[in-house]
Amino acid sequence: MTVTATPQTRTPAIEVLDTPDLGDRSYVVELDGLAVVVDPQRDIDRIQQILDRNGWQVSHVIETHMHNDYVSGGLVLAEELSAGYVVPVGHEYQFSALEMGEGDTFESGDMSWRVLHTPGHTPHHVSYAVSVDGKDEAVFTGGSLLFGSVGRPDLIGPEATEGLAHAQWKSVRKLVEGIDDSAAVMPTHGFGSFCSATATVGLESTIGQQATTNPAALLDEHEFVTELLEGLDAFPAYYKHMGPANEQGAREIDLSPADVADADELRRRIEAGEWVVDLRQRRLWAAEHLAGSLSFDAEGNAITYLGWLIPWGTPITLLGATQEQISEFQRAMARIGIDRPAGQNVGTPASWARSAADLGSVRRATFPELADALAADGKLIVVDARRRTEWQEGHVDGARHIPLHDLPEAIGQVKAWSDAAKHAGADPTVWVSCGSGFRASVAGSLLARAGVPTVIVDDDFTNAAKAGLDVVADAHDTMLGAAYSD
């Protein structure tokens, strides 16, 4: 009697490498000890740790697109591992690579990889489907098909946005119709990334699930494009530097500690207009800080907003409670192309100041305290630092809307409001709020540096209505045109 063995299904192992502060994922995909790395961040030592731990070898390093929210480590990683570097065809690269587009394929051991052109997030964006023994196991969709959403189409420029939105709709249909339903969807963006057009849903999915839940797969083209464009909000200013850096090809990074800046040097840098950034918890910064330093609580989305707000190229000196805190933020800076801090100092405000005259503090408050203050003085200056879509969904009646990313340009206006109130014998204090307190603290530190008396509302916005404040909503067409008006 002859017994026929049932073939064993072989599924690639996929290691997911999260970068929460940017809302991105990289992947290492392995079968039989041979691996492919997808969309690696610039700090490639994290990838190497995965490879060393598992004893894997890498055949290819691949990019789904020229990323807009981080500088890739793909070129350096491919060189160090003597692996093929696969990039989407269509860019003017300043380095040699394997440029691939629609219909191209490559092999990594028994894994077969095919390239699908999926424009929308960018014009040249591609996705990669990996199959074993003829069965699609996963598709790496980059910034195209996300969990319950898609990549935003407006990063190239306003003239290209609508066309890319239509292309994005077609790309999603191409993926859900051309890939096996059981294939895992593996996006790069969508976990808090500003590259996502709307909030994503969940941490894992399949093509079949996206086909029945993703708006791009359910809505007709016109309805999808209309809703997509209406929902777009601002994205970080530093994005404009990422694409060119990736086309040029980033080199190795130096994560060794920067030179220590003493109290005299810290004061000199602040007075010179450089950024001295305090990474401690925002409540600690508010209680006591080096006057002129800026609060970027490392427990919040600090790197995104630092990159968004800072005049590009301004020297940065990092202050922190521990070396680990500073080192981790230095790593985050390198991911967005700020290669080295100008200096650092681990300690406390007392050790960063030449004397008590160099120290400052800012009051923190809650929404109930704001409600009490407004009940006593309805003319208080209240600034809401959230983004447009958040403001539209509901804001404190009478608040003035200045999104945090617009505040550097509007500080003169805020100072004028404060000065006018002071000259009129009214309270010149500016109360600044946001969604949770993080952005309000960043805003408060910018205002304090400019000499504006400030109270930071360090509270969740859901507590505003509970505190008795009148929360109102705005329609789409009533927003930023009057954002800075009295």
- 319 and 383 in a single domain? The answer is no
Residues 102 and 178 in one domain: yes
Could you tell me if 67 and 180 lie in one domain? yes
Q: What is the pLDDT of residue 478?
A: 33
Q: Count how many residues are written for the chain.
A: 486
Report pLDDT for 8: 55
> pLDDT at position 6, please?
39
What separation in angstroms does the CA of 328 have from each of 263, 286, 450? 23, 22, 28
Task: Look at residue 330 in the predicted model and tell me its pLDDT.
Answer: 98
Do residues 190 and 324 share a domain? Answer: no
Determine how many CB atoms are found less than 10 A away from the CB of residue 459. 22
Segment 16-44, tens digit of pLDDT: 999 999 999 999 999 999 999 999 999 99
Instruction: Say yes or no: 323 and 442 in one domain.
Output: no
Cα(188)–Cα(19) distance, integer angstroms:
10
Task: Give residue 215's identity as a one-letter amino acid code.
Answer: P
- Domain termination residue (choose one: 333, 360, 387): 360
In this prediction, residue 479 carries a pLDDT of: 31
Residue in 290, 282, 288 with CA at minimum distance from that of residue 261? 290
Question: Are residues 330 and 461 part of one domain?
Answer: no
Cβ pair 50, 127 in contact under 8 A: no
Cα separation, 471 vs 468, whole angstroms: 9
**Domain for residue 258, yes or no?**
no
Maximum distance among all Cα pairs of the chain, rounded to whole angstroms:
102
Residue 475's pLDDT is what? Answer: 52
**Tell me: the pLDDT tens digits for 412-464?**
999 999 999 999 999 999 999 999 999 999 999 999 999 999 999 999 999 99
Q: Which of 222, 248, 274 is the last residue of a domain?
A: 248
pLDDT of residue 4: 39
Domain that holds residue 95: 13-248
Nearest residue to 193 via CA among 25, 412, 3, 331: 25
Q: Please provide the DSSP assignment of 103-129 as one string.
A: T-EEEETTEEEEEEE--SSSTT-EEEE
Write the CATH number for 297.
Answer: 3.40.250.10
Does one domain contain both 120 and 169? Answer: yes
Answer yes or no: do 473 and 418 share one domain: yes
Q: Please report the pLDDT score of residue 198 as a whole number.
A: 82
Amino acid making up residue 160 = A
Q: Side by side, which strands form the sheet with 24-31?
A: 13-19, 24-31, 34-38, 57-62, 84-88, 98-100
Structure tokens, 89: 């065809």
User: Which residue type sits at 127?
Assistant: S
CA distance 212 to 268: 59
> Do 295 and 428 share a structural domain?
no
Same domain, 158 and 208: yes
| Sign of the alpha-carbon dihedral angle for 280, 281, 282, 285 | negative
Which residues sit opposite 278 in a β-bridge?
295, 319
The number of folded domains in the chain is 3
Yes or no: say if 391 and 435 are a contact pair by the CB < 8 Å rule: no
Q: Is residue 6 part of a domain?
A: no
Tell me: do 457 and 410 sit in the same domain. yes
| DSSP states of 394-462 | -EETT-EE--GGGHHHHHHHHHHHHHHHHHTTS--PEEEE-SSSHHHHHHHHHHHHTT--EEEE-S-TH
CB 471 within 8 A of CB 460: no
Sign of CA dihedral 386, 389, 393, 395: positive
Residue 389 lies in a domain: yes
Q: Annotate 352-389 with DSSP letters as a single string.
A: H-SSGGGEE--EEE-HHHHHHHHHH-TT-EEEE-S-HH
- Sites in the chain below the pLDDT cut of 50: 1-7, 476-486
Q: Choose one of 360, 382, 410: the last residue of a domain.
A: 360
Are 415 and 443 contained in the same domain? yes
In this prediction, residue 481 carries a pLDDT of 27
- Global pTM value: 0.92
The CATH number linked to 28 is 3.60.15.10
Cα–Cα distance for residue pair 310/327, rounded to 1 Å:
20
> Rounded to the nearest 5 degrees, what angle is found at the Cα of 137, between the Cα atoms of 213 and 176?
30
The tokens of 28 are what? 């290492």
User: CA nearest 152: which of 139, 142, 143, 160?
Assistant: 143
**20 neighbors 44 (Cβ within 8 angstroms):** no
